[in-house]
Amino acid sequence: MNSKKNVLLIFGGTWSERDVSIKSAQQVQQWISDAGFIVRPVRWDHDGWVKCESQDLEEVSEAQHPAELLQEFVNEGVEVAFNCLHGGAGEDGTVAALFQMFRIAHTGAGVSGSAISACKVTFRQRLKGLGINVPKAAVVHREVWRLKSTEVIRGIVEEIGLPCIVKDPFGGSSDGVSVVSGDSEIVDTIGGLLETCPMVLVEQFLYGKELSIPCLGSRQGALPQTLQSVEICLPEGVPFDRKVKDSGKYVDPESRQLCDLQINCPSSVDAEVSVDLSRAVRQIHLELDLGTLSRTDLIICGEEYFFLETNTCPGMTHRSLVPLSAEESGFEGPELIRRMLDAAISQHLGRATGGSFA
């Protein structure tokens, strides 16, 4: 790659993960520059996309229509974009489709891989079809809840058990996630989520070793590389939610004291288990065509592994798991960015010459 190649950095968004996207972009902006490229930051605001002319990613400036701005970049010879949008239209295939329409290579997954991974329900179904273990779960649709909420609660208690985890299927890995232990809690939590979501995922509560394993995509014709596994150490009943993730602290359920979150990288799993998990994560990345980078979350309960979800645009802040894993795998931020951009361009050329359009 030309050391002076322009890289469009897209970030922001109008949904709940905007703030963490901006924090990720502030870090990625520096890494792109350190890797020898020219950064062209673009922020997604409510009234359009804003071209940030300075290093200040929150500067106020005139917004443009996305198509108009992308055409400008194409005319200027910009060929690759780094997707720093977390969740929403940034991770569900919308932005991937837009970049592909303008023939701009991009980090993240392709359209179908993004869409499958962005919905926890669809992702579970795809993994079950691959023979990969997922927690016992039920999907509650808004229309069914309105008509038969009592029967739904009874079925959850009998089939899933308590406590259970209630999730917004379209939320980020830490958003819209609640651990509930009583009937009244289930009613309030499901009812609250269904006010804004068409369906809710209710999963079996599993307590075990929580791991997150990044997988770095590769050029066409090469296998993706799994990075060091990261272990999240939390007491039973404490979810790894947005509050804990952002602050690095949690409230201990017994002492009620504020405690520091412990993250182990590499994780404490033994070598044989690590090989099995890496093989499964690589299979998920390949089968779903997850592009330049994915981060798969799972839990080990005894001798069983349960896969929870995969993120295709994971966080890149100083607290994020992927940069930590990459460093423990032997390379730091700028090299991670360089590899992702290299893979993005190679995969884009593969699509353009008749390869996968996923």
User: For 332-335, which contacts have Cβ atoms below 8 Å and span 24 or more sequence positions?
Assistant: 333/27, 333/28, 333/30, 333/31, 333/34, 334/31, 334/32, 334/34, 334/35, 335/35
Q: What value, to the nearest 5°, has the Cα angle with vertex 282 and ends 280 and 288?
A: 100
- For the four alpha carbons of 28, 19, 297 and 284, in that order, the dihedral sign comes to negative
- Is residue 123 in some structural domain? yes
Please indicate, yes or no, whether residues 200 and 231 belong to a single structural domain of this protein: no
- What pLDDT is attached to residue 2? 46
Residue 326 contacts residue 339 (beta carbons within 8 Å): no
- What pLDDT is attached to residue 183? 87
Tell me the DSSP string of 299-356.
Answer: EEETTEEEEEEEESS---STT-HHHHHHHHTT--HHHHHHHHHHHHHHHHHHHHTTS-
Contacts of 311 (CB under 8 A, 6+ apart): 91, 117, 172, 173, 294, 295, 296, 297
Please indicate, yes or no, whether residues 302 and 348 belong to a single structural domain of this protein: yes
Residues with pLDDT less than 70, the chain: 1-3, 173-174, 352-358
Range of the domain at 16: 6-107
Please indicate, yes or no, whether residues 84 and 141 belong to a single structural domain of this protein: no
Please indicate, yes or no, whether residues 23 and 90 belong to a single structural domain of this protein: yes
**What's the burial of 85, exposed, middle or buried (CB within 10 Å: 0-12/13-18/19+)?**
buried
Quick: pLDDT tens for 189-248. 999 999 999 999 999 999 999 999 999 999 988 999 999 999 999 887 777 777 787 778
Please indicate, yes or no, whether residues 221 and 163 belong to a single structural domain of this protein: no
* Distance, CA of 185 to chain centre: 27
- What pLDDT is attached to residue 358? 43
Please indicate, yes or no, whether residues 186 and 285 belong to a single structural domain of this protein: no
Q: Enter the pTM of the model.
A: 0.93
Please indicate, yes or no, whether residues 235 and 120 belong to a single structural domain of this protein: yes
Q: What value, to the nearest 5°, has the Cα angle with vertex 191 and ends 86 and 180?
A: 80
- Is residue 276 in some structural domain? yes
Q: Exposure pattern of 284-309 as b/e (b: 16+ CB <10 Å)? A: bbeebbbbbbbbbbbbbeeeebbbbb
Domain count, the chain: 3
- What pLDDT is attached to residue 245? 75
Please indicate, yes or no, whether residues 297 and 227 belong to a single structural domain of this protein: yes
Count CB atoms within 10 A of the CB of residue 56.
Answer: 11
Q: What is the CATH number of the domain that holds 191?
A: 3.30.1490.20
